[in-house]
Amino acid sequence: MVKSKPFTLRLTPETDAWVEYEARRTKRSKGAVVEALAEEAARMRRFPGIGFRGPDHDRQAWLRGTGLEVWEVIEAYRDAGSFEGLLAVSDVPEPVVRLALTYYEHYPDEIDRAIAENQRSDDELHRLFPGIVPRPS
């Protein structure tokens, strides 16, 4: 990913203390913490109705006001075969589906990775986590 030119940023003492704490907690630089926060904030402003949740290493875009992550709606859209098909078989409101599709247009790699992660086979999950995932029968 190409990055912009560096610039100086001054934070309030309270915010700086929190960023410093978060950097130590997550074993990242202060710059990486601020960059991640700025990226999420920019996306939430560009796509009102999108929020982010999950652990620091795997933040997921979700559709605020629902329990759904964007990748879940996109996966259901693909399974349904069309926009109209998804609306016919789900309770997801039309504006929410449109928002998920618009977000996906801009961040397809992020959403495709989440879908692929969800589609791991039982055998693959067992190989990755033999102490957690039972051996498939």
Whether 29 is covered by a domain: the verdict is: yes
Distance CA 19, CA 30 (A): 6
Q: What is the pLDDT of residue 3?
A: 84
Output the pTM of the full model: 0.86
pLDDT of residue 104: 98
Angle (CA) 4 31 16, round 5°: 130
Note the pLDDT of residue 132: 83
- Report pLDDT for 125: 85
Token pair recorded at residue 62: 């979700």
pLDDT on residue 134: 77
Low-confidence ranges of the chain (pLDDT < 50): none
Question: Are residues 78 and 55 located together in one domain of the fold?
Answer: yes
Q: Are 56 and 21 in contact (CB under 8 A)?
A: no
Q: Count how many domains the chain has.
A: 2
- Asked if the structure places residue 30 within a domain, the reply is yes
Nearest to 70 by CA among 47, 99, 94, 41: 99
How high is the pLDDT of residue 65?
94
Domain hosting 40: range is 12-46
Residue 75 sits in the same domain as residue 52: yes
| CA gap 108, 19 in Å, rounded | 29
* 87 inside domain: yes
pLDDT at 57: 85
